[in-house]
Every structure is written in C-alpha cells, then in structure tokens.
A and B are shown apart, each in its own frame.
Chain A
Amino acid sequence: MNIVIYIAIVLISIGSFLAFMRFVKGPTAADRAIALDTLSVIGIAGLVLLGYLFQRYIYIDLALVYAVLGFIGIIVIARYIEKSL
C-alpha cells in the first residue's frame, strides 16, 4: 500500500520540475508569477504528503503557514504588475 505514496511523490516532483522550467523560461513577469503560484500549491501538497510519510505532525503547521504566506506574496506581486501598489 505504501507504493502509492511513493508514486504520488514521484509525480509531484516531476510536476514541480515542469513548473520550475516554466519559471525559468517564462517570457513575461506574469508567467513567472503564475508558475510561482503553482509551485507553492504543489509545495503545500508535497509538505502534507511528506508529513504523512515521516509521521511528523509539525509538517501540517508548516504547510498551513506556507499557504498563507504564498497567497499574500502572489497578491502583492499581482498588484505590483498592475502598477497600482
């Protein structure tokens, strides 16, 4: 049954690599911000999954704080792109 968790971690790491490639390539700043948003969401899911794999409860708190801070960061970047900050 544990093989499913490993398959999920492999899929998530391939996905984060693809999003990171878009973060490197992206022609405009908005593309990079979108890739960063997706990377942070993938990171939240990966943190929760790693917390289950290692049986550590502290990873859940870490994922919650990362979700809040990533959301605030994306909103600030969007306002900056809009030139209304």
Chain B
Amino acid sequence: MDTLNNILEFVGLFFVLLGSIFLFLGALGIYRMPDLYNRLQAGTKASTLGAMSVVLGVGLLQPDWLIKLIVIILFIGISNPLSSHALARASYRQGIRPFFKKKMDDYEKEVESEQKWKVESDKVESGKR
C-alpha cells in the first residue's frame, strides 16, 4: 500500500511538472508569435494540454479529490477548443487576414459570398418597404 502511494505521488508530480512546462511554453507562444492565428494556436493547444495535465497530476497526488478534478478536465477539454474556434471565426470575419503568404484560403470565398448575399437581401428588403 505504501509503495502504491509512492508511485502515485511520483506520477502526479511528473504530471504537474509536465503541465506547468506546457503552460509556460503556451504563454511564451502567446507573447512571441507574430500573428493572431499563430498566437491562437500556440496559446490554446499548449495551454489546454498543460492545464489538463496539471489538474490530473493534482488528482493523482490527492485521490480523494479525483472526481471533481475529472469534471474540471472534461470541461477544459470541451470548452477551450470551442472558445478558440469562436475567437478565430470572429477575428476572420472582422477582417484580420493571416500574416504570412497564403497558398489556399477557401473560407475567404465563403465569407465573401455570404456578405454579398447579405447585402443583396438587405437591398431586396429595403425595396419592399
């Protein structure tokens, strides 16, 4: 029983250290990357993995708290990609384009056609009135 606790503590500390390193690297990417989309990717991916790993490590260190910590892990895993997707979509529609030279951008056509459709439908509606 004692050796099991020692193994759990060792694995938990390893996860905490790994997660804090990933959180630091994600924040460094937020600070250093040149473009909004690069920042978004570096920040969100690394910080999601880092936060999940830190919380799992604390759950292994303190097994009484494990259930609520697993709820936190699941919520981070669901909510963080959702919020980053919403932010990327919002900033693209606001008119911020990628900084580096792009080879392919299908979403641009979609956004343009949607905006054209919106303008035409507005004209039709104002004509009716």
Contacts and interface: CB of A to CB of B under 8 A. Distances in A.
Contacts, number: 158
Majority-rule SS of A interface residues: helix
A39 B56 CA distance: 19
Interface residues of A, number: 48
DSSP class of B's interface residues: helix, strand, loop or mixed? Answer: helix
A52 B27 CA distance: 23
Interface string B4-23: 00000100010011011101
B58 A31 contact: no
Given A4-B17, A15-B23, A45-B51, A81 B31 contact: no
Interface residues on B, range: 35 or more
A42 to B, nearest CB: 6
B85 to A, nearest CB: 9
A81 B39 CA distance: 17
A48 B60 CA distance: 12
23 contacts: A1-B9, A8-B19, A15-B26, A15-B28, A18-B31, A21-B31, A22-B31, A30-B90, A34-B30, A34-B87, A37-B83, A37-B84, A38-B26, A38-B44, A41-B23, A42-B51, A48-B55, A51-B58, A67-B75, A74-B83, A78-B87, A81-B87, A83-B93
Interface of A: 1, 4-5, 7-9, 11-12, 14-19, 21-22, 28, 30-31, 33-35, 37-38, 41-42, 44-45, 48-49, 51-52, 57, 60-61, 63-64, 67-68, 71, 74-75, 77-79, 81-83
Interface of B: 9, 13, 16-17, 19-21, 23-24, 26-28, 30-31, 36, 39-40, 43-44, 47-48, 50-51, 54-55, 58, 61-62, 65, 68-69, 71-72, 75-76, 79-80, 82-84, 86-87, 89-91, 93-94, 96
